[in-house]
Structure 1
Amino acid sequence: MGILKSCYLNERPGKDILRSRLKEQEDLLFSNQNRIKESGLPVVVLVEGWGTAGKGTLIGRVINNIDPRFYKVATFDMPTADEKRRPFLHRYFEALPEAGKFRFYNTGWMNEIVNERITGKMSDSFYEKRIASIRRFERQLNDNGYLLLKFFMHISEEEQKKRIEELLSRVDTKWRVGDEDLWQNKHYKQCQKVIEKYIDDTDVSSSPWYIIDAASEKWAELQVLERLNEGIEIALSNSTMAVPLLQNTFPLVKMPKLAEIPLEGKALTDEEYKKKLGKLQDKLKDLHNRLYRKRVPLIIAYEGWDAAGKGGNIKRIAEALDPRGYEVHPIASPEPHEKARHYLWRFWTRLPKDGHVAIFDRTWYGRVMVERIEGFCSEND
């Protein structure tokens, strides 16, 4: 049995039982939203699925049970030209909810990857890199206290064809059928193979996929509500538990300790300094032009002791750069709206477009340095 067909293992209840269970879960979600608000639990609900599977309808039915002040819905099409110039997860990270709120993603990073795979625009090696990035991204959310729930709305090839024909038969609904839906149904088995591969590659215990039998609106809603409420209950009960330490996936270069770095004999005369500075700034100016031509984004990160000269150094770097192609980000204590999100959110939203430079005056490393010393960051964090 394929991954998608696993949704049929759950037997659909009769109308009366379905109605009763739905009412119970709707009331429970209404109650859970207050617990989420009080605990500060941020909830991300990713809804993916076949075209015409009812993703938007499902989200609409679920949010009817939540105070509108505590949720937002984000809908994503394929990335624009400007969005493609940033890290591909940038727009999804930017849309993350604040603590104590829901964010429903009406399709997301899965749809983007699957579409490019189906159309042959993504090589196997690039696909593997994307999958690795997605697994790290989802793990980051889990590690920072987010509840991430991933649903795939599944319908059969025949059911999809039937829905497409019904929508096309009415003037008021035919606009809802796009070329992508028609192509998808015509190449259903090809699409299914890519979808199942993606789900298998990103189905992990910390953020598993839930395959939803979407043949019936109410039955689909019940399945989602039960998984959503169950996830909330588990997340709230585990909120006091320590987060397991994340294994590093990047090779590390051994760095000397600060006390081991010799500082004596590093002074220059004014004449030497001006001569070397001019040459290096000219070289940096040329490199900046090459970065732009090759569409390479660059991050320059500054950390250091107070009064160590970070500001002056940044000024001299900036003098050599085209002002249209860089931005300096002075990082102070996080604002309330930044504290309410993933601690990396305020850095993700400042990442440069390709060909541009972002200079950070203090960085995310403050999480494990200053914040750790001042007691704002636990040892486990």
Structure 2
Amino acid sequence: MISIDLIAGARPNFMKISPIIDAITAAAGEGKAITFRLIHTGQHYDKNMSGSFFEQLGIPEPDVNLGAGGGTQAEQTAAIMIGYEKLLMEGEKPDLCLVVGDVTSTMACTITAQKLHVKVAHVEAGIRSGDWSMPEEINRMVTDSITNFFFTTSEVANESLRKSGVEDERIFYVGNTMIDTLLKHRPRFQKPEVWDKIGLEKGKYIVMTLHRPANVDQEEKLKELIQEIIDHSGGLPLVFPVHPRTKKMLQNLGISHERLHMIDPLGYLEFNYLVESAKAVVTDSGGITEETTVMGIPCMTLRDNTERPETITEGTNELLGTDPQAIKPAMEKLFSDNWKTGKVPYLWDGKTAKRIVEVLLQKLG
């Protein structure tokens, strides 16, 4: 029996893990000797993460919650490592520790597993932004430096791993599990309350998300960014799900406008309903650029770099940088109907998790 620990610590992790749970369950149902234990490190905890989020994506309750939330980067890393080490030392070790993405939990559990001689598989391996100021970049590099099996989303990621000395036989180009989740749940997207409340119409509003420190922690820059978006958004409503900290900062700055609708963060099904029907999305998130690419929605990314270049070279995403002055020309391009059409990258077909489990059965069986 192949036993696998599935590690998740933050909301995007669960979107990536969910289809892998489905694929392992399906394989076991076909008589394959494979089982899993879902471990929630507790890195992020919010109301959307328990209850409704698990229900919406059909994720079972975690088998273990390490409860390692809060604190500084180092404190959180240490708490996760201590919790996972204790779990591994007190019970039976799994055959494999499977980590996804690039959060603190990903790196911390990889280090802990390897030190206790448990093999590691990294889903979404090899992606790089080149920006060492982002904690995620450090997490990716450390994780990939001690991983056994690398599951990748693009040829760019494959090449990045090869350059760092990873042999081809350990790289498995399988696609994107985040897109498995999107395609599975797309027929179930739910209209959020804000739709009727402000009278939204398909293709006649813009969705915004901003959370990176480079955009939201500098008051004047945030104010200028929002103002530029308001000024050049063609008179359309702007729907902005914001975290309380950012919302408070916006209110302190006195930013308000009749077309700017600041709302609480949404569930997965509600948020993607909004994105699928939007004219465009303005964001600084990486994952959203993948979802907009698959749904064919124009996306403007307010960052100086991206770890997902295929969303630009193949998809509907454009990297604008963090200068607020970049908003106007991008919006002009959007409203003159000159935005690129884009295409869905290779293997982003909803079958990635099945391919991952097939590889694991072959390599560990």
TM-score per shorter chain, which class? under 0.3
TM-score between both structures, scaled by the size of structure 2? 0.26
- The structure whose residues are more often helix, as a share, is 1
Whose radius of gyration is greater, 1 or 2?
1
